[in-house]
Amino acid sequence: MRYTVNVNNYLDYIVHHSRDFIMLIDKNLRYVFVNKAYEKIIGKEVQEIIGKSVVEIWGMERFKKVMQKPLVDCFNGKETHYVSETPFGPEFKVIEFRFFPYREYEGGPVTHALVFKHDISRLSDLEWRLMTYEFRDQETGLFNRQSMNIILDREIQKSQILKDERPWGLFLIVIENLSEIRRLRSTDIATLILENSGLRLQAFLGKSTTIFRSEADELSALVMDLKSESDAAFLAESILSQLSTPYGSGVFEVRPQCRIGIALYPRHAASSAELIMRSQAAINSARQESASYVLYDLELHAQAVEKLRMLDSLRKSIYDNSFELYYQPIVDGNGKIEGAEALLRWHHPELGLLSPDRFLPIAEEHGVTRELEKKTLFSAARQLAEWTSYGVYISVNISASLFEDPALIELLDSAMNQAGITNPAQLRLEITESESLRNTAKAISRMQEFKERGYLIYIDDFGTGQSSMEYLKKLPAEVLKVDRAFVEGIEKNSQDRKFLSLIVELGRLRNFQIVIEGIENIDQFHIIQKMQVNSYQGFYFSKPVIAKTFEEMLKKNIQLPA
Ligand code: C2E
Ligand code: MG
Ligand code: MG
């Protein structure tokens, strides 16, 4: 028997077109009305539902579990709302239930339960996706950096509230050769290894440890159940041995080379930011000491203070004359000088003559490179003007941040104008492969600008960055300066020799001119001479020398090595 509710046509229309499931249940718990949406979702014809009891449709178990109480409440005059996961055929849906007492007239007895069910599965789906997008790294599925901050803060709070002094640690794990793997194998393999290292870590350290992908090539592990502080060192060793087990595909084998920096709570930090910073400082000193793991400690602190002092005197020295450009000759196949690379030196008031590696990273980190580089450019241009009659060029190193600075072109132009140099190709710009070229599209358009002005671009330290040849061919650079790492050992090892010649060959195929740097002996020179490269540079010909010495070489028109 079809129960007809006394609704006019409009209401009928609305009720049947609602996406909510609407039903009316009488005191005998039998369905007396259901709308079309409800018919559809449970996959039964209206005749199969109407007149049937709730138990018949849903089964006794489910009735008792989720429906009995709200129905009883409802007939006692009480509205009920709840959310439940409900099976619909093979699917589970998240349903919001609302039970309303239904009276034939106001003030009358409750004759029916009016039930609205609203499908919110989509909503919770969305929320879940948001959660995962926000807190999980998309490539590896591990927790991301953002969630690391939140989780660390929560653990710190917990320890503080419970006055729990037991140490726990943040282990920052860097896979040092991941970018190499990415370059030599593929991005996919590198990601797979990162992901798998996360799994290995999780399996080894257990459920109480949370693993994060804290940076592109880094994992972090929040290790809660340390037995003692020294246990951290022990654990680091075990982690390293777990992670360095090679991956093999039958065709090749890849062995992750990891390094770990550890910061401990509460000894090393009182906040998540400090803890993260300290673990990074630990990694840095591990790198400096070529150690596979380092625990952040007071000694590191001392080093940080030392660094600050360096920065302080750097700032003071920029405006006096304690910086000087040295020049290292670049020669042709006969040892004839073609030009020179300008290399910065600092006459430190206490430490003596310093190479850029000692101070440039600090300067860069604290934004004082700009002034320094500006001075370098102007002084290199002045020097170039003095040496014009010798027909040489000077190449200058441009830091990543300066390369990306829109003001660089103006700076270059004004340095050249001031020096009175009309041919921009006399000044070459060395841009290091790794950092500056990370954003390909931007790098290409920047380089194009320089090129249009007539400056020649060198890709410095070629082979050490992450760029593939495929991508390099898009760069409007003219010259590849192959890193000295590829020269080292070529006189002893035929494989190294082959590798270098392969790089040279590939570069030539892409129409690059090739400069090889870091040539230290005659054997290396003879080998490279056979490789069809354009220019040579290295201690074998000459170390970097002061301007006066370089000028004497030019005057004497000598062949290097002298
Ligand atoms: P780079 O541009 O790759 O410069 C080559 C470095 O290798 C120089 O070190 C040079 O002295 C060294 N070198 C040259 N031949 C040999 C060799 O045969 N064997 C060995 N073992 N080393 C050799 P330096 O002068 O210490 O410069 C280090 C880096 O500092 C440079 O690498 C460059 O990236 C940066 N740099 C130097 N001067 C400047 C500058 O004025 N501005 C900027 N932004 N960076 C600079
Ligand atoms: Mg260079
Ligand atoms: Mg270089």
H/E stretch holding 39 reads: helix 36-42
Residue whose CA is closest, atom 33 of ligand 1? 397
The answer, yes or no, to whether residue 533 has pLDDT greater than 90, is yes
Q: Give the Å distance between the CA of 99 and the centre of ligand 2.
A: 76
pLDDT of residue 2: 43
Q: Cis link prior to 561 (omega < 30° from 0)?
A: yes
pLDDT of residue 147: 84
* pLDDT tens readout for residues 38-92: 888 778 888 889 999 999 988 898 888 888 999 999 999 998 887 777 776 666 6
Residue whose CA is closest, atom 10 of ligand 1? 544
Burial of 84 (0-12, 13-18, 19+ CB in 10 A): middle
What mean pLDDT is predicted for residues 504-514? 91
Is residue 465 within 8 Å of residue 503, measured between CB atoms?
Answer: no
How crowded is residue 481: how many other Cβ atoms within 10 Å of its Cβ? 29
Is residue 334 within 8 Å of residue 551, measured between CB atoms?
Answer: no
Q: Give the Å distance between the CA of 495 and the centre of ligand 2.
A: 26
What mean pLDDT is predicted for residues 419-427? 94
* The Cα angle at residue 227 between residues 226 and 231, in degrees rounded to 5: 75
* pLDDT tens readout for residues 137-184: 878 888 888 888 888 988 898 888 888 888 899 999 999 999 999 988
Residue whose CA is closest, atom 8 of ligand 1? 343
- State the Cα–Cα distance between residues 309 and 322, nearest whole angstrom: 16
What mean pLDDT is predicted for residues 263-287? 91
What mean pLDDT is predicted for residues 484-510? 94
Give Cα 527 distance to the centre of its chain.
39
pLDDT of residue 301: 47
**Nearest to 446, CA basis, from 395, 407, 393, 394:** 407
Q: Is 364 in the pocket of ligand 1 (CB under 6 A)?
A: no
Instruction: List strands edge to edge, sheet with 258-265.
Output: 210-215, 218-223, 168-175, 258-265, 293-295
Is residue 362 within 8 Å of residue 310, measured between CB atoms?
Answer: yes
Q: Give the Å distance between the CA of 343 and the centre of ligand 1.
A: 6
**Nearest to 490, CA basis, from 526, 452, 461:** 526
DSSP state, residue 561:
P
- State the Cα–Cα distance between residues 366 and 311, nearest whole angstrom: 8
Q: Give the ligand whose atoms come closest to the C-alpha of residue 344.
A: 1
pLDDT band per the 50, 70, 90 thresholds, residue 547: very high
Is residue 194 within 8 Å of residue 217, measured between CB atoms?
Answer: yes
Q: Is 561 in the pocket of ligand 1 (CB under 6 A)?
A: no
Q: Which of 343, 360, 462, 539 to mutate to test the pocket of ligand 1 (most atoms within 8 A of CB)?
A: 343
pLDDT band per the 50, 70, 90 thresholds, residue 466: low
pLDDT of residue 127: 57
pLDDT of residue 118: 81
Is residue 433 within 8 Å of residue 403, measured between CB atoms?
Answer: no
* pLDDT tens readout for residues 356-366: 999 998 888 77
DSSP lists the bridge partners of residue 221 as 171, 211
When the pLDDT of each residue in the chain is averaged and rounded to a whole number, the result is: 87
- DSSP calls for 451-513: HHHT-EEEEEEETSSS--HHHHTTS---EEEE-GGGTTTTTT-HHHHHHHHHHHHHHHHTT-E
* pLDDT tens readout for residues 124-142: 555 555 566 677 887 888 8
pLDDT of residue 437: 73
* pLDDT tens readout for residues 284-304: 988 988 888 888 875 654 565
Q: Give the ligand whose atoms come closest to the C-alpha of residue 343.
A: 1
**Nearest to 390, CA basis, from 439, 337, 444, 326:** 337
The answer, yes or no, to whether residue 254 has pLDDT greater than 70, is yes
The answer, yes or no, to whether residue 1 has pLDDT greater than 50, is no
CA torsion sign for 228, 233, 234, 235 is positive
Specify the range with the lowest mean pLDDT, choosing from 233-247, 302-316, 469-483, 488-502: 302-316
* pLDDT tens readout for residues 183-241: 888 888 899 899 999 999 999 999 889 999 998 889 999 999 887 777 787 788 889 99
pLDDT of residue 545: 98
pLDDT of residue 184: 87
Q: Is 518 in the pocket of ligand 1 (CB under 6 A)?
A: yes
pLDDT of residue 298: 54
pLDDT of residue 84: 75
pLDDT of residue 3: 44
CB-side exposure of 243: number of CA atoms within 13 Å? Answer: 30
CB-side exposure of 385: number of CA atoms within 13 Å? Answer: 13
DSSP state, residue 109:
-
